[in-house]
Structure 1
Amino acid sequence: MKNVLEINNLHVSFQTYAGEVHAVRGVDLHLEKGETLAIVGESGSGKSVTAQSVMRLIPSPPGKIKQGEILFEEKDLTKVSQRDMFRLRGSEIGMIFQDPMTSLNPTMTVGKQIMEGLKWHQKMNLSDAKKRAVEMLRLVGIPLPEKRVNQYPHQFSGGMRQRAMIAIALACNPKILIADEPTTALDVTIQAQILELMKELQHKTETAIILITHDLGVVAESAERVAVMYGGKVVETGRVEEIFNRSRHPYTWGLMGSMPRLDWQQDVELHPIPGSPPDLFDPPKGCPFADRCPHAMHICHEEMPEETEVSDSHRVSCWLEHPQAPSVSGENNNVKVHIGSK
């Protein structure tokens, strides 16, 4: 299937009073039409910066896309003009931000905020835009949309505000929807409803979704493919079943081992990942996970491993894939995987 988005060798840095932060360091990703790609990793791994780079929302200064390309329908978004990006945002690429209360304008009704994009991108008149806004609120499951369209964000509950954000993002039928931790501030019941809503809307519109999260339960529920990020790099990518059942990177094992599971018996111990993420003011020259990895070898600290193709859809960057690497297992992290020489 043709890719609707390709990110190649993306590097993003921020200049601060303390020096340069190398937030994203050579990220390669692709997104197919109609699929959901989840980007996972702990805070500071570069997930949101990668997504904001696609939207060209990196504040400059201090941020800068230093290298790489972001191809949307064969158009490099790192090189298009700001005017062209204004046309693309909302109409071709939509985004749901983490906190709807700070993302929605408190001085405007929810209806007007949906209508803004419709009037700007689709040149609708006021009457048609309002009808479409009501339709979108109804589509995302907000009751009494004819009334709610005239209300302000503070009159909505947390779940309804997130639904309103989805309505704004999907109003112009974008080809890509970027959801940056869309369920973080919601309770589990509302979270399940939002995820189900996104899947239903995706099925109707064939919108491709980039889902940014640190919640592996959300990933299992919603995504087809997963990219695991750490220290500004993608360390493993694969289909959901490959990442959950046959992961190959010790960092992915660590994520799995720190997540409780329903099929565990009593007294199963969680295994948190010891240590801290790398200092991105002075990134390591080798594998970014080497200082925290229980299987690290000397070369892990000295040189970044090349990407190994495990299958057509599964790739990993780890020295344990080298033919001369020792045999290791992820079973200590509650992950039954065995790799390396026998």
Structure 2
Amino acid sequence: MGKPILEIKDLHVAFKTYAGEVQAVRGVDLQLEKGETLAIVGESGSGKSVTAQSVMRLIPSPPGKIKKGEILFEGKDLIQISDKEMFRIRGSEIGMIFQDPMTSLNPTMTVGKQIMEGLMWHQKLSKDEAYQRAVEMLRLVGIPTPEKRVNQFPHQFSGGMRQRGMIAIALACNPKILIADEPTTALDVTIQAQILELMKELQVKTETAIILITHDLGVVAETAHRVAVMYGGKVVETGKVEDIFYRSRHPYTWGLLGSMPRLDIKREDDLSPIPGSPPDLFDPPKGCPFADRCPYAMHICHDEMPKVTEVTSGTHQVACWLEDSQAPSIESRGAKVNIVSQ
């Protein structure tokens, strides 16, 4: 395995508000390999989207600020480069599909013109060349009669077509990394499946690395190669999809899997929601962020953040005190398989 195309090291992001400072991301470490899909999962407020927006340097300042860390894209720290250089990278080398296409697309411009804009700016294509490329991109993402649709406005597209249009804009300049922030939110199941299949097909054709931000574990199982589980602004577990679904080690991951509906379980009472509420990031806990909701929490969990333990060297890591040699043996009834911590 070669050098990662993207490395996030000890990233801290905070937002100043009238009530105090929200510590939204608190020491995130992630890696993304060329051509792979990394899914970032967790509850709302866990820091998933803020991490992605930090990569794109889209954190509004004020009130937001990247306080510490490195974001290395092909060895270049995106936090340290100039705004002009970041403007060149954003869209051409790193693309992003935003959560809500209706608010992300410009309602006063045709979809074709919005695709052409990046092509003319980044790839210096003429207007005619950019127009032809826009038609090709709409055809590539599966929009019927692209020659007609290229001249239509976002309100003339259905929800699924708007999302496909967003993907066309994000992929128009052949970026090396595509960040998809909940790309199937508010779409029906059929359209959701089509969008996910489209992303997989395009990844094979273009070798684009994808960061997929989602709370839908079904989407993760279908599309991702590796998974990072975030909670309280921290990454609590990372691993291959098989590691997370079948050999997960963190109680929060067990909770996510246990609260996921399954076709082989019909009784509603067999769904196990995670009790309690996420931590207050105005005053985050000094120990494990999940300690107050964890049924296996020990005194040390509240007092000190656990270090990252290698479960499988290089592929599966977890930050949990249950991995300590002095911790009691715990048996978890996960959503997929029985898991025993040694």
TM-score (norm 2): 0.98
Does structure 2 conserve the Cα–Cα contact (< 8 Å) formed by 1:253 and 1:335? Answer: no
| Partners of 1:209 and 1:153 in 2: CA distance | 25
| Partners of 2:335 and 2:201 in 1: CA distance | 35
1:305 aligns with 2:333: no
Q: Of 319, 322, 327, which residue of structure 2 is paired with 1:320?
A: 322
Using the TM superposition, give the Cα deviation of residue 185 of structure 1 relative to its aligned residue in structure 2, in angstroms: 1.2
Using the TM superposition, give the Cα deviation of residue 3 of structure 1 relative to its aligned residue in structure 2, in angstroms: 0.5
What are the Cα deviations for residues 46-75 of structure 1, in whole angstroms up to 9, with x where unaligned? Answer: 000000000000000000000000000110
Using the TM superposition, give the Cα deviation of residue 329 of structure 1 relative to its aligned residue in structure 2, in angstroms: 1.4
Does structure 1 conserve the Cα–Cα contact (< 8 Å) formed by 2:236 and 2:250? Answer: yes
Aligned partner of 1:100 in structure 2 is 101
Structure 2 gap ranges (5+): none
Using the TM superposition, give the Cα deviation of residue 105 of structure 1 relative to its aligned residue in structure 2, in angstroms: 0.2
Does structure 1 conserve the Cα–Cα contact (< 8 Å) formed by 2:135 and 2:146? Answer: yes
Q: Of 333, 336, 339, which residue of structure 1 is paired with 2:341?
A: 339
Aligned partner of 2:8 in structure 1 is 7
Aligned partner of 2:69 in structure 1 is 68
Aligned partner of 2:138 in structure 1 is 137
Give the paired residue count.
Answer: 340
Superposed counterparts of 1:52-67, under 5 Å: 52-67=53-68
Superposed counterparts of 1:70-85, under 5 Å: 70-85=71-86
| Partners of 1:204 and 1:333 in 2: CA distance | 34
Using the TM superposition, give the Cα deviation of residue 262 of structure 1 relative to its aligned residue in structure 2, in angstroms: 2.1
Aligned partner of 1:219 in structure 2 is 220
| Partners of 2:55 and 2:334 in 1: CA distance | 37
Does structure 1 conserve the Cα–Cα contact (< 8 Å) formed by 2:286 and 2:304? Answer: yes
What is the aligned-residue identity percentage?
A: 81
Using the TM superposition, give the Cα deviation of residue 268 of structure 1 relative to its aligned residue in structure 2, in angstroms: 6.0
Does structure 2 conserve the Cα–Cα contact (< 8 Å) formed by 1:45 and 1:230? Answer: yes
Q: Which amino acid aligns with 1:5?
A: L
Using the TM superposition, give the Cα deviation of residue 266 of structure 1 relative to its aligned residue in structure 2, in angstroms: 5.0
Superposed counterparts of 1:1-342, under 5 Å: 1=1, 2-264=3-265, 269-312=270-313, 313-331=315-333, 335-340=337-342
Structure 1 gap ranges (5+): none
What are the Cα deviations for residues 237-295 of structure 1, in whole angstroms up to 9, with x where unaligned? Answer: 00000100000000000000000112336566100000000000000000000000000
| Partners of 1:211 and 1:29 in 2: CA distance | 13
TM-score (norm 1): 0.98
What are the Cα deviations for residues 136-164 of structure 1, in whole angstroms up to 9, with x where unaligned? Answer: 00000000000000000000000000000
